[in-house]
Structure 1
Amino acid sequence: MAEPVALPTTTDCVNGEEKKEVKLEDLFGDVDSDDEFPSLRPKQQTPQSSSSDAPSSPTEIGPIGKASDPEVLRMFYQRLFPWRHLFQWLNHAPTPTNDFAHREFALTLRSDAYLRYRSFPTSDLLRKEILQLLPVRFEIGPVYTTNPRDRKQMKNSSAFKPLAKELCFDIDLTDYDDIRTCCDQANICIKCWSFMTMAIKVIDVALREDFGFKHIMWVYSGRRGAHAWVCDKKTRAMDDQKRRAIAGYLEVVRGGAQGGKKVNVRRPLHPHLSRSLDILAPHFQSDILSIQDPWALDDRSEHLLSLLPDSGLNASLRAKWNSSPGRASAQKWADIDALAKSGASKSLDAKALLEAKQDIVLEYTYPRLDIEVSKKLNHLLKSPFVVHPGTGRVCVPIDTRKLENFDPLAVPTVQQLLSEIDEWKGEEGKGMQDWEKTSLKPYVDYFRTFVLALMKDEKDPRVKRERDEDSMEF
């Protein structure tokens, strides 16, 4: 089984012809300069002192408030947020284009006010508005036919429509509450994060191998989920019909949280499902049967029996489990084959049992997508690197090359990052950006590598022509 393609590590793709015209740094002035904000301490109401009384070095921040506190957010957006890379990612070029200027941003304020159709000619203006309003989060929408702020001035309102946006996927662990046993609702642990690891593996390889997409970025949502941003040029231009087709192709688990069979797939299995089973089978044995132990309780084991095709076999299994209280899920799963081979049911169809077991594996391991996020061109999604107001964790990109090692509980919080800046003792720190002094650095480095590879692809005339001419058929 092919593994997800590792992202290239291009570091010079923004050089060359553009370098003669403008440097990337020139677009941002001193946005990332440490000298612009020499101290992390929130301003205190203290008596005015003379310059001779000023400390010779930056003061420590002291006790740090909640992640959603205005001063905490202000310091984060001033000192740590990767504005330059965000601009490059959305703009697809070193100089400003309509890909950025006509892009919609939506801001959620602390008052719960929701400001839509914000747009900005440059990254610096976006940054200034964020620092002025200090939203608890902001979302990214599509690129429109014109500046979203000017939509009401258009004589023909129907002419204002979305043109392009990344294809996005949203996976949330609350959709696994009927099968995860370690946590529920907004709570997560490293045990149930394995569901997210499985989901990323399956969706990522399908997008790459079945659709030929290349620039796919996964982002931790800050609490209990992950988002995928498929950024290829041909992907961004897809209409709603094509987006719905891809979402439908990837959707396998259907139905509500309670009861019922959630997987009903045709036979013979589609190659995507066969490949997914190959990816998921080891996880089913270790993460599901051993760690989650999903059928330890009687009501849950009854659900397992409801998914099997033979009433005679079900009766034998129920009797065996009733006589052995506390039997582990791994043993119950093995009992299915053992009793089937023993002739417990004379009417058992071996092929139907195999297919039922495959469906069960898919129900307990296959990604559970919020496909509404994927189906509409005009859907907005939370920006990478914002701070989750509940956990304080930064919504960082996930390096799929090290997917098994990603621990959501180890993702830095904004309070931790601000403390790390104060604790920095490196002699070379004067010329460094603040995020380079913190545990946010590997995530920003990964994002930068991803963005540079995307920009390089956008510049390639051959790739550009092929993607402009490509019309994906379904």
Structure 2
Amino acid sequence: MPHAISDMEADVPSSPPESTSQNHDVELPAAPEATAATTNKVALEDIFNDEVSDSDLLTSTADIPSSPPTAKDNHRGQDVASARSGQAESYSDPSVMLQYYTRLFPFRPLFLWLNASPSPSPRFANREFAFTLSNDAYLRYQSYPSHDLLRRDILRLNPSRFEIGPEYSTNPRDRKTLRKASTFRPLSKEMVFDIDLTDYDDIRTCCVKANICEKCWKFATMTIKVLDAALREDFGFEHILWVYSGRRGVHAWISDKEARELDDDKRKALVGYFEVLRGGVQGGKRVNVRRPLHPHIRRSMDILRPYFTQILVEQEPFLSQSGQDRLLQLLPDKDLNDALRKKWSSSPDRPSKKKWDDIDELAKTGVSKNLDTKALLEAKQDALLEYTYPRIDVEVGKKRIHLLKSPFVVHPGTGRVCVPITCGGDMKRADLFDPLTVPTVTELLREIDSFGQKNEEEQGTSQEDSNRHENSNQKKVLDWEKTRLKPYYELFNGYVNKLVKSQTTSLKRERDEDGHNGADAMEF
């Protein structure tokens, strides 16, 4: 069972000050003030009004396809070569985006995910969608009773991207007709986390700003593993979806009922649970966790320790003079620091891994007669956390009114689709995921055309072959099945399928426990 979020403050590893990070995805206009959120626990039975039939579930029963998306393929070289040559396709071209929405975007699975039921309900109908149009106009507070109407409007507006917001107390389109603005308030939304690799610019040396590579993507992989483990083991959440942002980050969507119904205070507490890093780079030590270490911190260090060694080799954080000084600033003993500084001054190009090993080697020689070995160990633990622990855009997760890019939208800068990375706690997928191999929208459209041409060549052009094909009753191959989008689509379908079944089973169980089954209804 999940911890009660209202009781979480006693368990947080640290209590950092408010973060000033901003939402990198969209600048939000002021939202209507919400009324004070109740702290009473919301009953599970309140989520549905009508019972859902099992026959309405997704036709695919597989939770997760057997094989993950290929981590390396021949498209990678094309993408990198194109980027290096400075060539760029117009990924947000209206004609390209219209084809994508018409042929590839998963509107029905998106509806099932946000609604958690095949039957239309206020959970979807009162949900806010916000569109960025091709002329950069930003359209907020859009809502739709069904996925068909959402699809129709997206084909009409043809946005370059769109965001998902909360479910409101009333239809967002009707907010201006209400007599009291306070009656228009967010009721629920998936708990979300946003991680952007630009927040690692002070420690990654391979890339800066919006650029990424295999080396610095490890920071994203580490974040997924640490947060996913904590969300499942410490809070009992199950339905966690990790999505690639399309350029340099990842988003986590937590769809459990307990997560969706968290008020803003509890969301703030949940985000605070993961705020281990504090302050700016110039402010000295950024990690100050309490001892003995919280179980979450101990588990995180076990996950992060192997990556720390890779970072020392690949990022060389201590190679420069400033990086070296920053490391020494984290260590507690002056005599040891002086000995390290002297040794490194004679070898300015000494690799970071060797400099890290020098700490223990010199400490064992007795260069400091008053060395506190426990303090040194704790300082090294803090250093490991500073260079590996997740860096979260805390503002995105704190409030329900924040919007976040929808999965499967196209990033207008890179053309890459915001595909799912992993779900269900499968960290092998997180390890295999390579953002540089994610297909672009133009590649996908070319793959559909190539698939048709290949089929024509294989089947031949004779009338006899054509008639035989028409009468074979073969299942029609959908457009997304013809492209590299297929494994990501299947992964999302499996996640949604599991979520809908879980919600349906929970609803039936609660109704049975309340005496609403057929047998009880006949008793007098």
Q: Show the counterpart of 1:361.
A: 384
How many Å apart are 1:432 and its aligned residue? 1.6
Q: Distance in 2 between matches of 1:315 and 1:464?
A: 66
Contact kept in structure 1, 2:331 and 2:337, CA below 8 Å:
yes
Q: Give percent identity, aligned residues only.
A: 61
How many Å apart are 1:154 and its aligned residue? 1.2
Q: Show the counterpart of 2:441.
A: 414
Q: TM-score, normalised by structure 2?
A: 0.76
Q: Show the counterpart of 1:393.
A: 416
Q: Residues 17 and 364 of structure 1: is their aligned pair in 2 closer, same or farther, counting only changes over 3 Å?
A: closer
- Residue 191 of structure 1: SS of its match in structure 2? helix
Q: Show the counterpart of 1:448.
A: 493
Whichever residue aligns with residue 272 of structure 2, its letter is G
Structure 1: stretches of 5+ with no match in the other structure: 1-15, 26-62, 470-474
Is 1:460 aligned to 2:505, yes or no? yes
Q: Show the counterpart of 1:8.
A: none
Given candidates 429, 434, 438, the residue that maps to 1:402 is 429
- Residue 282 of structure 1: SS of its match in structure 2? helix
How many Å apart are 1:256 and its aligned residue? 2.7
Deviates more, 1:310-319 or 1:214-223: 310-319
Contact kept in structure 1, 2:52 and 2:117, CA below 8 Å:
no
- Residue 140 of structure 1: SS of its match in structure 2? strand
What does 1:1-400 align with in structure 2 at a 5 Å threshold? 18=53, 65-286=89-310, 288-399=311-422, 400=426
Q: Distance in 2 between matches of 1:343 and 1:405?
A: 44
- Residue 448 of structure 2: SS of its match in structure 1? helix
- Residue 499 of structure 2: SS of its match in structure 1? helix
How many Å apart are 1:411 and its aligned residue? 0.4
- Residue 275 of structure 1: SS of its match in structure 2? helix
Q: Distance in 1 between matches of 2:281 and 2:117?
A: 44
How many Å apart are 1:257 and its aligned residue? 4.6
Q: Distance in 1 between matches of 2:239 and 2:254?
A: 6
- Residue 332 of structure 2: SS of its match in structure 1? coil
Whichever residue aligns with residue 301 of structure 1, its letter is Q
Q: Distance in 1 between matches of 2:269 and 2:171?
A: 29
Whichever residue aligns with residue 341 of structure 2, its letter is R
Q: Residues 19 and 421 of structure 1: is their aligned pair in 2 closer, same or farther, counting only changes over 3 Å?
A: same
How many Å apart are 1:64 and its aligned residue? 10
Whichever residue aligns with residue 326 of structure 1, its letter is D
Deviations 1:15-62 (A, max 9, x none): x96266x6879xxxxxxxxxxxxxxxxxxxxxxxxxxxxxxxxxxxxx
Q: Show the counterpart of 1:51.
A: none
Pairwise CA RMSD: 2.2
Q: Distance in 2 between matches of 1:465 and 1:252?
A: 38
Contact kept in structure 1, 2:190 and 2:253, CA below 8 Å:
yes
Contact kept in structure 2, 1:103 and 1:142, CA below 8 Å:
yes
Q: Residues 423 and 384 of structure 1: is their aligned pair in 2 closer, same or farther, counting only changes over 3 Å?
A: same
How many Å apart are 1:258 and its aligned residue? 4.3
Structure 2: stretches of 5+ with no match in the other structure: 1-50, 60-86, 460-468, 515-524
Contact kept in structure 2, 1:289 and 1:329, CA below 8 Å:
yes
Q: Show the counterpart of 2:69.
A: none
How many equivalent residue pairs?
414
Whichever residue aligns with residue 161 of structure 1, its letter is R
How many Å apart are 1:75 and its aligned residue? 0.5
Contact kept in structure 1, 2:131 and 2:139, CA below 8 Å:
yes
Q: Show the counterpart of 2:481.
A: 436
- Residue 398 of structure 1: SS of its match in structure 2? strand
Contact kept in structure 2, 1:175 and 1:257, CA below 8 Å:
no
